[in-house]
Structure 1
Amino acid sequence: MGMLAAMSERAVRRVRELTGGPSVLDGLTGSDLTTFLLDVFRRRARERRPADVLRRYREDRFATPGTVDLLSLRRAEDALLTALPPGTDTVSLAPLVPLGTHWVLGGVDPRKAVATVRGTEVAADSTVGLALEAAARRTGAGTVRLATTQRVTRAQLFDGAGAHFQLFAFVTAGRAPDFEREHLAEHLRFLIEALRGREFRIALTCLDRQGEAIAESVRSLPGVVDDPARERGRDYYRHLCFKVFLTGGEDRFEIGDGGFTDWTAKLLSDRKERLLTTAIGVDRLALHARTG
């Protein structure tokens, strides 16, 4: 058991002891649990003073501003949005998704998402939100292309970083016979256009034989290289995944990643559904443009 899991388990035991045993907590489900938690937070909020709020604002990594200025973010976002292929719909996602979304689709530990008392969790990955919207649109529709830029929040600790950052996401959903080859090429050409004028690498990792066959169609594109040694993301993606780097000499600065997932197949209970995702950290792209 990891440290985070052990701390969580100890906290749950303490609460159960204070409330008279496991039956009390186990019985709090649905609207009763929501009502109980809302009352707990109402009481705590009423105890706060202005000085308390300001102190938390200064100290809480979930509340402090980002480190990249807004104008730099806007310029980076514009470069990405204007490079999108024709037929892409831009979406303004809600800041919340249904509780458990990141776990059900991406297998992300629920403790790494910020849950709310109303049965939702704060968006931690914009590609997950776009996958939900793509699945909703896929009923009776053809290929769906969606893109967004969104401030996302993650509970896990990052060295030298806050809990929130701007994420650009682009997904394509469909079930055409040659879906993987066609749309991987489209996503990579989008990245090449968006990063025009910069030195970059798009590192492909093939996860199985099908991934090897898909990769053959894009290996001749500018900046595309193979990265068979990649370890992270092998349980997250299917067939093929990639990382996006800005480069300078021997230095590499990671700004994003993408690949094929089974999320719309899960959501629609249809194994023929396909989804390709690309995500770019806008803060990182803007920071490199400012310091590079």
Structure 2
Amino acid sequence: MAERASALDRVLKQAGGPEILDILAERLPGADLTTLLLEVMRRRSRTLSPADVLRRYGHDRFVAPAQILFQRLRRAEDAVLSALPPGVELVTLAPVAPLGAHSALGPVDQNNVVSTIRNSEVAADPTNALALEAALRRRTTPAEPVRLAALQRVVRAQHFTGPVSYAHFTLFALVTAGRDTGGLAFERQHAAEHLAVLTAAVRACGVAAPEVKVTVLDERFEPVAAGLDAGRDPDREGGRGYYTGLCYKIYGDGMEVGDGGFVDWTARLLGNRKERLLISALGIDRLS
């Protein structure tokens, strides 16, 4: 954070002072800011030679091809999709989402997302876009739960470490949106379904004994956790403030391969506290 603030201070001094940031971020209408930034990018691109583009391609971690062979990724994708039950609709998501799709729904720093200059951002998590789609469908057909899934190559701007950590990777996502029917019935049914799908998908990728660890974030969800075929992880720190009620992780051969839990996104998107949403995701690159 200190390095970011220092760099911003330096840039603002060169640009004429901190007031320029207020003008661009708060006073300039969105369409006008887009017009300005498009012209900036147009002028910058005109100064680039083919050699410049090749040089950037050679060292930019965001644009390099996947390190895992296509055939391996495709086999894992097909294996995961084979575990989907009837009634779950596969959606082909756009590669970009509306600006704020990740930071406005979950507590995600916008600097961890690749923002564009057209009021959009590169997909960083398919569950966010699926939540938006589910909210639209819930608005028109509120009587029935919405069950959606997707495969999407996503990009995240933060630096990751580890042998299977990349700037871009494929995620399988599953979301279920519906209405609270009392007695935690929605939560019980769909948490069990998500975990059944996720573990079946991991087994289909060749992992003989996937492991599930559940963390109860709200004691009212204890009966939900008690009904799941899963171990417990009461000391989990990640995901607190992102998930509500209950969350879980999926492990294959000792490596984390999936994550999920309940969120309040559709409740906030639709302005209805009775709306419920469960999201889950698996890392296809880690299962390849």
Give the TM-score normalised by the residue count of structure 2. 0.91
Q: Residues 240-260 of structure 1: CA distance to partner in whole angstroms, max 9, x if unpaired?
A: 10000012xxxx111010000
For 1:129-168, what aligned pairs fall within 5 Å after superposition? 129-141=129-141, 142-160=144-162, 161-168=165-172
Moved more, 15-24 or 137-146: 15-24
1:289 corresponds to: none
Rounded Cα–Cα distance in structure 2 between residues aligned with 1:135 and 1:55: 43
For 1:75-154, what aligned pairs fall within 5 Å after superposition? 75-141=75-141, 142-154=144-156
1:186 corresponds to 2:193: yes
Q: Which runs of 5+ in 2 are unaligned?
A: none
1:275 corresponds to 2:277: yes
Rounded Cα–Cα distance in structure 1 between residues aligned with 2:232 and 2:48: 54
Q: For this pair of structures, how many residues does the alignment match?
A: 274
**1:176 CA drift (Å):** 4.1
Q: Residues 40-70 of structure 1: CA distance to partner in whole angstroms, max 9, x if unpaired?
A: 1111111111111111111100010111111
**1:179 CA drift (Å):** 0.5
Rounded Cα–Cα distance in structure 2 between residues aligned with 1:15 and 1:32: 21
1:259 corresponds to: 261
Q: Residues 135-186 of structure 1: CA distance to partner in whole angstroms, max 9, x if unpaired?
A: 0110132100000000000000011533110011000000142100010111
CA RMSD of aligned residues (A): 1.5
**Displaced runs of 4 or more, over 4 A:** none
Rounded Cα–Cα distance in structure 2 between residues aligned with 1:83 and 1:74: 15
Rounded Cα–Cα distance in structure 1 between residues aligned with 2:36 and 2:198: 47
Asked whether the equivalents of residues 198 and 282 of structure 2 are also in contact (C-alpha less than 8 Å), the reply is no
**1:272 CA drift (Å):** 0.7
For 1:37-76, what aligned pairs fall within 5 Å after superposition? 37-76=37-76
Rounded Cα–Cα distance in structure 1 between residues aligned with 2:86 and 2:35: 46
Gap change, CA 1:32 and 1:14, over 3 Å in 2: farther
**What amino acid is the match of 1:9?**
A
Rounded Cα–Cα distance in structure 2 between residues aligned with 1:240 and 1:20: 49
Give the TM-score normalised by the residue count of structure 1. 0.90
**1:98 CA drift (Å):** 1.0
Structure 2 residue corresponding to 1:207, chosen from 207, 217, 230: 217
1:20 corresponds to 2:16: yes
1:238 corresponds to 2:238: no
Rounded Cα–Cα distance in structure 1 between residues aligned with 2:22 and 2:107: 24
Asked whether the equivalents of residues 85 and 186 of structure 1 are also in contact (C-alpha less than 8 Å), the reply is no
SS at match of 2:224: helix
Rounded Cα–Cα distance in structure 2 between residues aligned with 1:157 and 1:151: 17
Rounded Cα–Cα distance in structure 1 between residues aligned with 2:170 and 2:252: 18
Gap change, CA 1:47 and 1:192, over 3 Å in 2: same
Q: Residues 113-142 of structure 1: CA distance to partner in whole angstroms, max 9, x if unpaired?
A: 001011111110111111011001101321
Asked whether the equivalents of residues 202 and 287 of structure 2 are also in contact (C-alpha less than 8 Å), the reply is no
